[in-house]
Structure 1
Amino acid sequence: MPQTPQTVLKDLKAKKFAPIYFLDGEEPFFIDQITDYIEKNAIPEHERGFNQVVLYGKDANVGLILNNARKFPMMAERQVVIVKEAQSLADLSKDESQQLLISYLENPLPSTILVFAHKYKKLDGRMALGKVLDKKAVYVRSDKVKDFKLIEWVEGYIKDTGHTIDRQSAQLLADSIGNNLEVLTNEIGKMLINFQEPTKITSEHISKYVGIHKDYNNFEFMKAIGFKDVMKANKIINYFIQNPKAHPVIPMFSLMYNYFTKIALIHQAQRNNSSEGQLASILKLPPFVVKEYVAASRNYKLGKVIEVFGYIKEADLRFKGVDSGSLSEAENLRELVYKIMH
């Protein structure tokens, strides 16, 4: 069973190093996090010139990697061999290369820390190599953080830095940036660098240091649509149009579709007399967020929600050039919002 990145990082920080790490999955953030930690902390800096080798998948092969792994460290306790972009190893899927790697897995050199950073995709677990890795190596599966867990992840990440954040501000970051963890943590880092002492992060901090307006953002935009606040929705559209790089149109369609999908699920759940707690489980959202969706569902009956899906599809096609006429991106977005709210 693959281990979680959090468990492995905890062991690494406790100086518990293993002979082999195989890191794979669709989320590169955790793979880079573990790889960087080993690269910077497994051996002292003055030993790295002789005892640390970094290879890249497109320029290496399994034989070369294992030749380096089998070397003994020079006047040191251990050496480190890191294979970055391991998904680009041309021979990793070949039986002969896999058998070579399996043989090493069965009897690794204890003084070597061998790391494979296999990003953006998962190794086929049905292969013999996958089964042996699971038993003989520290095998880490780096999955994308699900949207419904992103708020909690932001809270935990900021807590680990020694700061705190309130739930609404964590939601503002999650909704506005999304689950690209590299971008998300970079923006958080730009903000936290301004605080020397433990600080509770608020929407004012996010507005000042990240540039996400506390009143004009994706979260407030969908809330305005859900509550049929026409004036606020149009103010936010005007703000988005003036900042097109920060607020591209295409992601708006997906945002709206997901929002109204949740409203449709609420209507279905209410027909089954689901409780508020059950709704939170069905929508995979915190209870305080569910209340807002329930309120929005009163403004959009199921028949209207079905119409909205059609409006979103039409707008998406127009944006891609189908029957777009002379409508600009801004006019397309305005027309979509008008149809939804009227």
Structure 2
Amino acid sequence: MKFQDILNSIKQRKYKPLYLLHGEESHFIDVLCEAIEKGVLDDAQKGFDQTILYGKDVDFSTIINAAKRYPMMSDYQVIIVKEAQAMKWKGEEEVELFNKYVENPTPTTILVLAYKHGKFDKRTKLYKNIEKVGVAFESQKLYDDKVAPWIVGEIQEQGRKIHPQAAALMAEYLGTDLSKVANEVQKLILNVTKDREISVQDIEQNIGISKDFNVFELNNALGRRDAVKAIQIVDYFAANPKSNPPIMVMATLYGYFSKVLKYHYLADKSSSAVAKELGISPFFVKDYELAARNFNKSKVFHVFHVLKDYDLKFKGVEVGPQTSEGDLLREMIFKILN
């Protein structure tokens, strides 16, 4: 089942007796756990029929014994095991004991295993049994190019709109940590009035990302071959190194020029095809068309050579002791444009 399908079924009170939530992306696991923790029982019922356990403090035998109990004050009892990846099996007997419970779970118990920062072994009998009677959901991290669409979708879910450039700017700066991104999304929802679209200016005011001097604008300046604007931006980066570390700038530039190179090799260069293949909003297709005109294939390969060279220099290879990161950034931009 997909994340949204599982969440919708929980909200509709269509519960399964067992949920195994595992994977590298903690955010989706946390959202599903919270939906069950807050939505199944009311506050009075929770005192009798809801139990929160932690993997490092509990074993499977204890969980099984708790799961076999019946609710006292409601239709269900809820047991949530957080950080379940920290649990240790006490031999094959315990595994088989848990398997037997999974094959015939207590229908009035909702047991949730929040198994974070890793994947449960899908080859095991236990995993396959969980799939048969309950929900086994793998929470996967989003690729970089999927974060901006996710931001747009999250805001649309709450009946709001965000400008594509604002979503792209958030994605560039906040990365793929969805818990962090989700917090910033909620900050915008609370602070921007409902009657208008969330703009780049709102991102600057509420999240602290400069709307004029950021990696997104640096990409655009390079794509236009606007040397003056590009140098102004890297000067700003040099003056604010904590907000704009070279490692982030380098990664963003590599991602940007990788898309420019991919554009060159697309057979179908219609707006919709480009947006789909590059994983961008149609709003930005013209920017990549311009960048591709300004950087042919040969020039893009030159850019990759420059980035590789300066990646080593930022790591201290063949760099004088007096050379600052700001100096290296300026040199790098000059070589990209020339």
Instruction: Give the alignment's TM-score, normalised by structure 2.
Output: 0.93
Q: Residue type matched to 2:112 in 1?
A: V
What secondary structure, in the 3-state scheme, does the structure 2 residue paired with 1:55 have? strand
Q: CA deviation at 1:304?
A: 2.0
Give per-residue Cα distances to partners, 1:83-130, cap 9 Å, x unaligned: 1111122229x6433322221111111121100111122212112222
Q: Is the 8 A contact 1:162 1:198 kept in 2?
A: no
**Which deviates the most, 107-116 or 118-127?**
118-127
Residue aligning to 1:284: 279
1:340 pairs with 2:303: no
1:321 pairs with 2:316: yes
- The 1:330/1:90 distance shift into structure 2, 3 A limit, reads farther
Q: Residue type matched to 1:131 in 2?
A: K
Residue aligning to 2:66: 68
Residue aligning to 1:205: 202
Residue aligning to 1:104: 101
Q: Which structure 1 segments of 5+ residues have no match?
A: none
Give per-residue Cα distances to partners, 1:160-198, cap 9 Å, x unaligned: 223221222222222232222111111122222224645
- The 1:309/1:195 distance shift into structure 2, 3 A limit, reads closer
Residue aligning to 2:89: 91
Residue correspondence of structure 1 range 280-319 to structure 2 within 5 A: 280-319=275-314
- The 1:96/1:218 distance shift into structure 2, 3 A limit, reads farther
Q: Which structure 2 segments of 5+ residues have no match?
A: none
Q: CA deviation at 1:50?
A: 2.5
Residue aligning to 2:141: 144
Q: CA deviation at 1:268?
A: 2.5
Q: How many correspondences in the alignment? A: 337
Q: Say which of 174, 188, 191 aligns to 1:191.
A: 188
Q: CA deviation at 1:276?
A: 4.5
What secondary structure, in the 3-state scheme, does the structure 2 residue paired with 1:149 have? helix
Query: 1 CA distance for matches of 2:117 and 2:327?
Result: 37
Q: Is the 8 A contact 1:188 1:210 kept in 2?
A: no
Q: Say which of 191, 215, 218 aligns to 1:218.
A: 215
Q: Is the 8 A contact 1:280 1:290 kept in 2?
A: yes
- The 1:261/1:10 distance shift into structure 2, 3 A limit, reads same
1:46 pairs with 2:60: no
**Which deviates the most, 283-292 or 21-30?**
283-292
Query: 1 CA distance for matches of 2:243 and 2:180?
Result: 13
- The 1:297/1:195 distance shift into structure 2, 3 A limit, reads closer
What secondary structure, in the 3-state scheme, does the structure 2 residue paired with 1:144 have? coil
Q: CA deviation at 1:33?
A: 0.5
Q: Is the 8 A contact 2:161 2:197 kept in 1?
A: yes
Instruction: Give the alignment's TM-score, normalised by structure 1.
Output: 0.92
Q: Residue type matched to 1:317 in 2?
A: L
Q: Say which of 16, 20, 33 aligns to 1:22.
A: 20
Q: Residue type matched to 1:112 in 2?
A: T
Q: Is the 8 A contact 1:158 1:165 kept in 2?
A: yes
Q: Residue type matched to 1:127 in 2?
A: T
Q: Residue type matched to 2:250 in 1?
A: F
1:177 pairs with 2:171: no
What secondary structure, in the 3-state scheme, does the structure 1 residue paired with 2:234 have? helix
Query: 2 CA distance for matches of 1:162 and 1:198?
Result: 10
What secondary structure, in the 3-state scheme, does the structure 1 residue paired with 2:191 have? coil
- Paired-residue identity, %: 40
Query: 2 CA distance for matches of 1:314 and 1:45?
Result: 60
Q: CA deviation at 1:220?
A: 0.8
